Chains A and B, each alone.
Chain A
Amino acid sequence: IYRMMQTIRRMELKADQLYKQKIIRGFCHLYDGQEACAVGIETGINLSDHLITAYRAHGYTLTRGGTVREIMAELTGRRGGIAKGKGGSMHMYTKHFYGGNGIVGAQVPLGAGVALACKYLGNNEICVCLYGDGAANQGQIFETYNMASLWKLPCIFICENNKYGMGTSVERASTSTHYFKKGDFIPGLRMDGMDVLCVREATKFAAEHCRSGKGPILMELQTYRYHGHSMSDPGISYRTREEIQEVRSKSDPISMLKDRMLSNNMASVEELKEIDVEVRKEIEEAAQFATTDPEPPLEDLCN
């Protein structure tokens, strides 16, 4: 878990660096700060389950089986990318991971559709369907809650509430910021999305709920993103540097896990440092590859 979160963190920071060097261009929505969500969720389900999210998807691409190499090469638009350079930051796919979706909220009905397939095929699999606080007021999400609930689809709806939809704070966007309640008849849980073990346990509970045929369930993860909405957003016009700093010092998900592991003698400082070094190396190599791999051939682009 520690390694995975650290890998996401380093990968996103590297992407930031490459973006500023103009090696990555276009849309780039970074996930640093929210690592506990992706990693906690994945450890609560199986790889044979399904997951779909919106555009802040690099972390999920990794937890769902992608490699740092393929992800970074996709960001730089090269043929070694996970979508051969044709998808980009927002459109990465792996087995049972349906992206990476650009249109806010559109992934929610898609996720319920995947859950419908699970129920139809009787394979005891479930679908985790993610969206943000900004998407939470989308009409199609309420349409989906209704059908998922009506047909008892094995779908875990998860709202990653990072307090800002682009530049609009939750208070300015929603009459009710209790996102876990918006499912009406669907039971909802709210939790600290910075605590990876909490997210894991809740996900396990939710998965069990779905697998037992009780229908959908909703989770709200209260989390935070350090970067702005995307690389074109400095992220300080609608929030203060102090706020960001406060979260970094008091609630950083990786630090929290690290402290917990150390104080419970689950690992030594050296062991964790070793992991950090290995992760840095992996990221460096991936970045090298992503920078030097050639772009896809022209015939591929029009195919």
Chain B
Amino acid sequence: MASLRSFLRSGKNAVSAVLRREFHGTPPAAVQVTVRDALNQALDEELERDERVFLLGEEVAQYDGAYKVSRGLWKKYGDKRIIDTPITEMGFAGIAVGAAMAGLRPICEFMTFNFSMQAIDQVINSAAKTYYMSAGLQPVPIVFRGPNGASAGVAAQHSQCFAAWYGHCPGLKVVSPWSAEDAKGLLKSAIRDDNPVVFLENELMYGVPFEMSEEAQSKDFLLPIGKAKIERQGNHVTLVSHSRMVSLCLDAAAVLAKEGIECEVINMRTIRPLDAEAIETSVMKTNHLITVEGGWPQFGVGAEILARIMEGKDFFICF
């Protein structure tokens, strides 16, 4: 009798669950989302949430974005909030910074960060330093975003990684997402941050799909800037990377696993402030460290990580 009752109960539950599914459509679950779409979602949600947020850059409006990251936004928000600019980086970056000073929350897109060199004075001297120089009177809540680093055969002038360049400067936060969740959570955090944030995307990652948890799909999903993520646990060697190179590290880890070497892969997520603690903790465990990046080695991100580890309090304990 008890078993019959429980069968009926579970049967009833199963039936009602089926009914529920039919009434409510898609069941809540993880979905596959490309980095591009994740960025698009983040932009859309933040534009909707705060009237002061707006996007400006070359081809962001009517072209739907040079890499289609801002697809559909101009149609939805119009000329006032999605602004196409002439090809004048120094000018429009300065205009974006000025707008931020006057109370708006601009997102300034560089078609690639190579072109940000034209405007780098505005990013560093006008945006990054102002909060300090004004003793806190004048915040600059701006996000500079765009693809960074190597792409597919675009030649030397279009392939530079600027993580080390911007990572050097106090007053800036520098973020470098890898996955779709990273892209969405970190871009939303960057837009809500009152500091100038340099958001380094990667063109080759735009089309890559990732599983996005239900939590990540929500409109309030934020990831903290300044915290790295362990993408793969391991005991033998620590691989530290950011952006596209995280994929490379995971691929390498898969190959090495066949030889019995278990890699711990750390996705930095943020370049500045650097999550040195996460890296130190990992190195204490594995005693081996390799940094993998798309930028040049001299004076680079990896060089800084190595310096920090070697200068860290735990370095000699490793031995």
CB contacts (< 8 Å) of B99 on chain A: these are 113-114, 116-117, 120
In this complex, how many residues of chain A approach chain B with their Cβ under 8 Å: the count is: 38
CB contacts (< 8 Å) of A113 on chain B: these are 94-102, 106
Answer whether residue B312 sits at the interface, using C-beta atoms and an 8 A cutoff. Answer: no
Q: Which of A50, A83, A144 contacts B133 (CB 8 A)?
A: A83
Give A175 to B274 CA distance when docked, in angstroms: 49
Give A3 to B94 CA distance when docked, in angstroms: 35
User: Are the CB atoms of A144 and B121 closer together than 8 Å?
Assistant: no
User: Are the CB atoms of A109 and B90 closer together than 8 Å?
Assistant: yes
Closest to A125 in B: B102
User: Are the CB atoms of A140 and B132 closer together than 8 Å?
Assistant: no
Answer whether residue A143 sits at the interface, using C-beta atoms and an 8 A cutoff. Answer: yes
Answer whether residue A210 sits at the interface, using C-beta atoms and an 8 A cutoff. Answer: no
CB contacts (< 8 Å) of A86 on chain B: these are 132-135
Answer whether residue B86 sits at the interface, using C-beta atoms and an 8 A cutoff. Answer: yes
Given known pairs A101-B126, A117-B102, the reply for A106 and B94 (CB within 8 Å) is yes
User: Are the CB atoms of B85 and A140 closer together than 8 Å?
Assistant: no
| Least Cβ–Cβ distance between A94 and chain B, in angstroms | 8
User: Are the CB atoms of B85 and A110 closer together than 8 Å?
Assistant: no
Mask of A119-158 contacts with B, CB within 8 angstroms, 1/0: 0110000010000000000011001101100110000000
Closest to A141 in B: B91
CB contacts (< 8 Å) of B54 on chain A: these are 120
Given known pairs A110-B101, A117-B103, A121-B103, the reply for A87 and B133 (CB within 8 Å) is yes
| Least Cβ–Cβ distance between B234 and chain A, in angstroms | 37
Answer whether residue B125 sits at the interface, using C-beta atoms and an 8 A cutoff. Answer: yes
| Least Cβ–Cβ distance between B220 and chain A, in angstroms | 25
Given known pairs A86-B135, A93-B137, A143-B88, the reply for A109 and B101 (CB within 8 Å) is no
Given known pairs A98-B98, A109-B98, A116-B99, the reply for A146 and B134 (CB within 8 Å) is no
User: Are the CB atoms of A106 and B80 closer together than 8 Å?
Assistant: no
User: Are the CB atoms of B101 and A106 closer together than 8 Å?
Assistant: no
User: Are the CB atoms of B126 and A110 closer together than 8 Å?
Assistant: yes
Answer whether residue A91 sits at the interface, using C-beta atoms and an 8 A cutoff. Answer: yes
Answer whether residue B223 sits at the interface, using C-beta atoms and an 8 A cutoff. Answer: no
Give A104 to B173 CA distance when docked, in angstroms: 25
| Least Cβ–Cβ distance between A90 and chain B, in angstroms | 9
User: Are the CB atoms of B126 and A93 closer together than 8 Å?
Assistant: no
User: Are the CB atoms of B91 and A146 closer together than 8 Å?
Assistant: yes
Give A120 to B133 CA distance when docked, in angstroms: 27
Closest to B95 in A: A113
Mask of B107-133 contacts with A, CB within 8 angstroms, 1/0: 000000000000001100110001011
Give A144 to B92 CA distance when docked, in angstroms: 8
CB contacts (< 8 Å) of A216 on chain B: these are none
> Which residues of A (64-106) have their CB < 8 Å from a CB of B?
83-88, 91, 93, 98-99, 101-103, 106
Answer whether residue B204 sits at the interface, using C-beta atoms and an 8 A cutoff. Answer: no
Q: Which of A83, A112, A120 contacts B134 (CB 8 A)?
A: A83
Give A284 to B86 CA distance when docked, in angstroms: 51
Given known pairs A50-B102, A150-B86, the reply for A109 and B134 (CB within 8 Å) is no
Give A88 to B132 CA distance when docked, in angstroms: 11
| Least Cβ–Cβ distance between A72 and chain B, in angstroms | 16
| Least Cβ–Cβ distance between B79 and chain A, in angstroms | 9
| Least Cβ–Cβ distance between B226 and chain A, in angstroms | 17
User: Are the CB atoms of B95 and A116 closer together than 8 Å?
Assistant: yes
Of A83, A113, A118, A120, most buried by chain B (CB within 10 Å of CB) is: A113
CB contacts (< 8 Å) of B286 on chain A: these are none
User: Are the CB atoms of B98 and A110 closer together than 8 Å?
Assistant: yes
Answer whether residue B208 sits at the interface, using C-beta atoms and an 8 A cutoff. Answer: no
User: Are the CB atoms of B91 and A147 closer together than 8 Å?
Assistant: yes
CB contacts (< 8 Å) of A114 on chain B: these are 98-99, 101-102
12 contacts between A and B (CB under 8 A): A83-B133, A83-B135, A87-B133, A87-B134, A91-B133, A99-B130, A103-B121, A106-B125, A113-B97, A117-B104, A140-B91, A147-B95
6 A-B pairs with least C-beta separation: A113-B98, A109-B94, A143-B91, A117-B102, A110-B98, A84-B135
| A-B contact sample (17 more), CB < 8 A, given A87-B134, A120-B54 | A52-B98, A86-B133, A88-B133, A98-B102, A99-B133, A109-B94, A109-B95, A110-B94, A110-B126, A112-B91, A112-B95, A113-B100, A117-B103, A120-B104, A143-B86, A143-B92, A147-B95
Residues of A within 8 A of B (CB): 50, 52, 83-88, 91, 93, 98-99, 101-103, 106, 108-118, 120-121, 127, 139-140, 143-144, 146-147, 150-151
